[in-house]
Chains A and B, each alone.
Chain A
Amino acid sequence: MVIGLYFWACVAGAFSALLVSAVCAVVRARTKRGFRAYVAALEQASDFTGNGLMFFDENERLRHANSRVYDFLPDIDRLKNGGVISLHDTLDYFYDHGVDCDQSLLNTLGRSAEKLSSIGFREVINASGGRLCLVEAQKIPGVGTNVILIDVGESKNREELMLRLNRYNHELSQAIEAATSGIVIIRPDAEGQKYGITFANKAFCNIFQSGREEIAGRDMVDVFGCIEDPDALEKIKEIGRMQGGGDVELCLRHPVEGERWYDLQLTPLKDENGKLELFVGILNDTTELKIQAAESSKAQKLEALGQLSAGVAHDFNNVLSIIDGYARIVSRDMENREKALENLERIRTAAQRGTSLIKQMLTFSRHEIVHSGAVDLGEMVREQEGLLRPLLDASIQCVVRVGDGAMWVECSPEKITQILMNLAVNARDAMERGGRLLIECGVCPEEALPEILQRKEGGKGACAFLKVEDTGTGMEKEVLERIFDPFFTTKEQGKGTGLGLSMVYGLVKQAGGVIDVESVLGEGTSITVYLPLTDKPPKCLSGSAEVPGSIRFDGYTALVAEDEPDLLLLVSSALEELGMAVLSACDGREALVLQDEYEGVIDLLLTDVVMPELNGVDLADFVQEFRPETHVIFMSGYPDKGQAARVSIPENAVFAAKPIRHDDLAGLVYSKLKGDSGDGGPDYRAPRWASKQDDDNEKELAQ
């Protein structure tokens, strides 16, 4: 359109000039034919072109100006001097009204005049109404001078607009090309099914390792198809379908740089009717950010580890100094064997403390192997009472209240001990000036359960509770909110690790319970742990050794190793009858493999002493290396010591001589397991050699 206008402006200019030349030629040929006819011809020509025409005679006096001239230059008459306008003044006027033109405009105008010759004067001037006029003057020898005024105002404005637009576009495309982010324009088809890429900048092409021509025109899903994560691709499709914007994280494999991560932001552009016109996608490389985030997370972990180490270092140093100190003494005392042994024992104790510290840390990081089982919370609290008292100052009065009846909860005894000890130690530390420590446990009726437990699915029903209450300093709200955070401590540097309560929190959570904390500043704190009661049969020793046939071992597990198949069957059946779960092995080797594969707790190893390949004593040694908690009872038809003994069993080992009576076996196992539960049940461990006569009237398990 604009080019068309130019064309016509130029053609019009050229035509006018040619017309004037032609008219002048006629005038020259027919000079005497009257000036009027000439002027009439000029008027006609100028009307035809729409241009302004001025004619100056040989004396350079204006002889004629058409109406367009007055249209362009309404004040031209003020140049009159003595009623005459001279060419000289007119040209001055044009110079005064000249404008600075763009080079491109002059070029355009120049091209239009190329076909014209002998142009004596050319200037673009400001005409009335803000229009621009190209003024060209041509001297015709022997006749005069023609001046043509051509309106270029409209074309000039459009040209400027185009120039600006072009410049803007140029700058914009340069910026888009130079951008380090990938930029892509995606246009959906009419059905909104396909999303063709209409533009992709250099960075985008580089990221997808494709040429621009390979990408342009292709479907978005097709181009993004090289994304390895199917979820990301699905999200892109989803954004397309929903026609909303969104962010997608992409992972692309670069042949040189390897795996790179990108964030793709898709923004929909819609028309005024809300119809989707196109998507603009910006693709940013987030690999470095991701690495930084990972580094930062690593740094946080290291910081946490540092804090953990600082807390544990104190205790661990103590352990190490004991080990180191006694080791030195031992090397000095080697001559005094007895004393050296005593000191070695101290070293072992310190090493065990170190082991328990590590176990505590593993518990904190939830990396322990959990052997689940059920315990009676009340019984546990009663057992722990004796251990708690030495921890407390004389200024602290300790009251323990245990509710009636059994309260079975699914939790290991070690965990209950840790929970109780940690809570008690915290309570103690809150009462530096003394006070009262109340430890209470029992069954909590449903209506008294805290809200959080009532909301839990299946949380309804009775729970066991363990409350530890002190009359100490209490806590501020800010402290209360953070007490279960790992490493949070209000204690002095080196006095607390900040792990105690977070460990309690973790243990209670693992056991499916909740914790309720109430604290009043200056009055004290009460922490209550609620643990769901369980129906799972707990380990339960019942009956009495004194009453034959009354003993039960529900929930316990035994490993029986016996190379005599009938005897193995008899003993295993007997233990099963007593409520035990039994793992049976036909020799020592099988028993060793069985215990290696069994994940649960083995409470008892009942093993024959003399077996091929691996005897019972060696088996017991191996088993106890991995399972120190497993009790061992040996059985044999040979005497345990002396010359007749084919394999000597260790001192203090529990020994059952074959044949074993059912009640004797029950009593022996009972005493072993009961003895372990700490209430000092009857010692039934005397190895007894039943005489043949004695056995006659008794039920024999084996020969």
Chain B
Amino acid sequence: MKNELSDLKVLLVEDQGEARAMMRNMLVELGVTQIFEAANGREALTFLDSAFDFIDIIICDWNMPSMSGVEVLRQLRTVDPSMPFLMVTGRSDMESVVEAKSSGVTGYIRKPFSSKQLEAKLRIILYKMAA
């Protein structure tokens, strides 16, 4: 399988250090080398302000204090309506899935997830973007 992920530049937004490290490891395992990290929504938006063109995809936790993933997405969408955005959610109820979809995410992935699932989701997003 061709590794389309190796050139990917990912911005990882997650407030919990351990979870962020785990996702980073998974991405490394998948061959992603360019990973940028933000510990909260504000930091992510500040980063995007200066390095918007660097990033191919944003992986963002839904549930973060002070600024939720949905709020990050909302602010992002005012600037870029098509930036690939993978929402990481710990919730698995139907309502939150519907909410995630309607808020303009490109994809969502439920915690806990395996690196294989993360890979599938990243690929799905890439395929969708290419289509």
Contact = CB atoms under 8 A, between A and B. Distances in A.
B123 A367 contact: no
Given A592-B120, A615-B1, A367 B91 contact: yes
A84 interface: no
B120 A369 contact: no
Nearest to A626: B117
Contact of B93 (A369, A593, A615): A369
Contacts of A614: 1, 123
B117 A625 contact: yes
B114 A592 contact: no
A575 B127 CA distance: 27
A381 B121 CA distance: 38
Interface in B67-102: 91-94, 97
A690 B124 CA distance: 35
Interface string A362-388: 100011111000000000000000000
B interface: dominant SS: helix
Contacts of A621: 116
The size bracket of the interface on A is 10 to 19
A368 B114 CA distance: 20
A622 interface: yes
Interface string B1-19: 1100000000000000000
A613 B91 contact: no
Nearest to A614: B1
B1 A618 contact: yes
Contacts of B124: 592-593, 596
Contacts of B121: 596
Contacts of B93: 362, 366-369
A366 B92 CA distance: 10
A410 B94 CA distance: 19
Contacts of B91: 367
A589 interface: yes
B92 A368 contact: yes
Given A589-B127, A615-B1, A625 B94 contact: no
B120 A622 contact: yes
Interface-centre pick from B97, B107, B127, B128 (highest chain A CB count, 10 A) = B127
A625 B120 contact: yes
A362 B92 contact: yes
A625 B117 CA distance: 6
A369 B123 contact: no
Interface in A578-619: 589-590, 592-593, 596, 613-615, 618
A592 B123 contact: yes
Contact of B94 (A370, A589, A613): A370
A268 B117 CA distance: 66
Contacts of B1: 614-615, 618
A592 B92 contact: no
Interface in A335-376: 362, 366-370
Interface in B34-79: none
Contacts of A368: 92-93
Interface string A619-643: 0011001100000000000000000
Nearest to B101: A597
B92 A596 contact: no
Nearest to A355: B112
Nearest to B95: A367
Given A368-B92, A369-B93, A369-B94, A593 B120 contact: no
A676 to B, nearest CB: 23
Top 6 nearest A-B pairs (CB, nearest first) are A367-B93, A622-B120, A589-B127, A625-B117, A625-B116, A596-B124
11 contacts: A362-B93, A368-B92, A368-B93, A370-B94, A589-B123, A592-B120, A596-B121, A596-B124, A613-B2, A614-B1, A622-B119
Interface of B: 1-2, 91-94, 97, 107, 114, 116-117, 119-121, 123-124, 127-128, 131
Interface of A: 362, 366-370, 589-590, 592-593, 596, 613-615, 618, 621-622, 625-626
